[in-house]
Amino acid sequence: MLVFLEDILWWLVLIGVMVMIHELGHFLAARYFDVKVEAFSFGFGPRLFGFRRGETDYRVSLILFGGYVKMAGEQFQEITGAPQTESHGAPDSDNEGIANRFEGTINDPRSLPAKPRWQRLIIAFAGPFMNMVLAVAVLTGLFMVKYQKVSDADMEAVIGHVVPDSPAAKAGIQDGDRIVRLDKQWSPKWDDIEMKEFYSAYRPMRLTIERAGRRFDTTVTPILSERYGVGYAGWDARGQVQLGGIEPSYPAEKAGLKKGDIIVAVEGQPIHSPTKFQELIKNSGGKPITIEVLRGGEHHSVIIQPVWAKLDGPPHWMIGVAPQPKLDIITTKLSFPDALNESLRQNSKDALMIGQVVKGMVERRMSTKNLTGPIGLGQLAGQEARQGASTFFMLMSMVSLNLAIFNLLPIPIMDGGTILMLLVEMVMQRDLSLNVKEAVFKVGFVCIMVILAFAIFNDISKILPQG
C-alpha cells in the first residue's frame, strides 16, 4: 500500500511539472500577444479549488491527467454552443446564433480568433516548445552535477551470444563475432545497434562482420517481439554478467548466491551473456547444475537444482535470479557547454527513436504495447524515484520530450492538429467552415479518448498475471 501511495505521489509530481511547463508556454505566448486568458487549469473537469488573479482563474480540476489554458474564444464549444436569447426578442435560429457568437469573438480584439494566424500558430507551438526546453534543461542541469557514461570497452559491438533459430542465427552470426559496419555506419557502438534493432522489425539491417581476422557481409531482419512489441534480432553484447537480484526462498538464495556476484561459468561453459545463462538454466531439465561465480575477487562454485516455477511469463526451469550485464560506469561532471551539448545530443537521439516508434506503429511494424498510460507512468515514476534523483530526472526529461512530440502529431484537438489547420488556412487564405472545425474537433476528441483507453488497457494487462 505504501508503494502504491508513493507511485501516486511521484506521478503527480511528474505530471504536474509536465503540465505546468506545457501550459505555461501557451499562457506566456498568449499574454505576449495580448490574448485574454480566462483559466489556467491543472486537470480537466469540475473545478476543485484555486484562486483568481486579475482576469485569470488559476484552478485545480477533478481529472488530474493533463491540463489546459482557456483563452477567450478558443474552445470551439463556446462558438458553436446553444444560441443566446434576449428578453426583448425571440431566440435566434441555430445558424444565426452560431454566427452571432463567432462574430462576437472576432469583434473582441483580445480573443484568440481575432489574432493573426501566425500569432495563433506561435501560441499553439509554445506548449510543446516549452516541453522541449524542459527536456534539454533537466539533462543539462543533471550532467553538470552527475554525468554517467558506460566505458567504451563495454560498448564495443562484439556478440556475446546468439539465440538458436533467431534472425541473427539464420544470418550466420556466431558468438564472438564483431559488427564493424551497420548499414552505412562504420564502427557502431552497441547502443547504435540496439536502437536500430528496436525499430527495425521486418526491415533488413545490413552488416559487415569480422570473425577471426576475416570480414564478410550479411543481412539480419529482426522480427517483432511478441513480449515487448519491438524489433528482435536474437543477440546479446559480449561482457561480464552479474546477478542483479535474488528471489527469496528460491534455489539461488538457498545455495548462497548474492546480488552482485559475477557469473563466470555454468557447467563449465563460460558466460558472457545474460541470455546464454538463462538458456542453460531453462534447458537443464531440472538436473543439478554447477555455477561458478566471482565475489570480492574470489571464485566460488555452487551446485543448484532448478525448480519448475513462474515469475515473469510462462513457467520454466529457474533458480530465482535476474542476470544482467556488468557495466563499467564512469561518473564525472560536465561544464555547462559540454552538458548542454550532451543534452542536445541525447534528446535528439531520443526524439529520433520516438519518431521511429510512432512510424513503426503506424506501419504496423511495432506493437501498440509500447503505449504507456497513466497507470504505467505512475509505476515507472515511483520506481525511478526510489532509485534516486538522477534516474527520476532522466525520466522527467524523456516524458517531457514524449509529451512535446505527441502534442505535435497532426491529431485534431492536439497542438499539432491546431497548427496543421492554421497552416491550411494560411494556404487557403480563408478560415475553414465552422462545420468542418466542429467535425475535426469531434474526431480528434474520439481519437484521444481511444488512445487513452488503449494505453490504460495496456497498463492493466501488464499488471495482471500472464498465462
> Please, what's the b/e burial string for 354-389 (b: 16 or more CB within 10 A of its CB; e: otherwise)?
bebbbebbeeebbbebbbbbbbbbbbbbbbbbeeee
- Of 153, 155, 136, give the one whose Cα is nearest residue 144: 136
3-state SS of the chain is CHHHHHHHHHHHHHHHHHHHHHHHHHHHHHHHCCCCEEEEEEEEEEEEEEEEECCEEEEEEEEEEEEEEEECCCCHHHHCCCCCCCCCCCCCCHHHHHHHHHHHHHHCCCCHHHCCHHHHHHHHHHHHHHHHHHHHHHHHHHHHHCEEEECHHHHCCEEEEECCCCHHHHCCCCCCCEEEEECCEECCCHHHHHHHHHCCCCCCEEEEEEECCEEEEEEECCEECCCCCCEECCEEECCCEEEEEECCCCHHHHCCCCCCCEEEEECCEECCCHHHHHHHHHCCCCCCEEEEEEECCEEEEEEECCEEECCCCCCEEECCEEEEECCCEEEECCCHHHHHHHHHHHHHHHHHHHHHHHHHHHCCCCCHHHCCCHHHHHHHHHHHHHHCHHHHHHHHHHHHHHHHHHHCCCCCCCHHHHHHHHHHHHHHCCCCCHHHHHHHHHHHHHHHHHHHHHHHHHHHHHHCCCC
User: What whole-number distance in Å separates Cα of residue 189 and Cα of residue 177?
Assistant: 14
Q: What is the pLDDT of residue 420?
A: 93
Q: Specify whether the backbone of 390 is left (phi greater than 0), alpha (psi in -120 to 50) or beta.
A: alpha
pLDDT (0 to 100) of residue 78: 36
Assigned fold of 241-330: Pdz3 Domain (2.30.42)
Q: Per the structure block, which three cell numbers stand in for 252?
A: 539461488
Q: Please answer whether residues 171 and 220 qualify as being in contact, where contact means their C-beta atoms are separated by less than 8 angstroms.
A: yes
Give, in order, the Cα–Cα distances in Å from 132 to each of 197, 204, 275, 397, 405: 26, 32, 37, 9, 9
CA distance 58 to 39: 6
pTM of the model: 0.81
Cell numbers linked to 107: 469583434
- φ, ψ (nearest 5 deg) of residue 300: -130, 145
CA dihedral for 259, 262, 267, 270, sign (positive or negative):
positive
Domain limits of the chain? 124-146+333-467, 152-236, 241-330
How far apart (Å, rounded) are the C-alpha atoms in residues 362 and 358?
A: 6
User: What span, in angstroms and rounded, lies between the C-alpha atoms of 206 and 182?
Assistant: 6
pLDDT computed for residue 466 by the predictor:
56
Characterise 202 by phi-psi region: left (phi > 0), alpha (psi -120 to 50), beta (else). left
- Closest to 234 in 3D by CA, of 246, 242, 245, 225: 225
- Distance (Å, rounded) from C-alpha 442 to C-alpha 72? 20
What's the CA gap between 233 and 221, in Å, rounded? 7
Bridge-based pairing state of the strands 241-246 and 235-237 = unpaired
152-236 and 241-330 agree in CATH topology? yes
List 102's β-bridge partners, or say none. none
Sign of CA dihedral 86, 91, 96, 101: positive
Distance CA 192, CA 401 (A): 20
Supply the CATH classification number for the domain 152-236. 2.30.42.10
What pLDDT, on the 0 to 100 scale, is given for residue 82?
A: 33
CA distance 15 to 8: 10
User: What are the pLDDT digits (tens) for 359-385?
Assistant: 888 887 777 777 888 888 888 999 999
Which positions of the chain have pLDDT values less than 50? 76-104
CA dist 121 and 33 (Å) reads 12
C-alpha span between 47 and 396 (Å, rounded)? 27
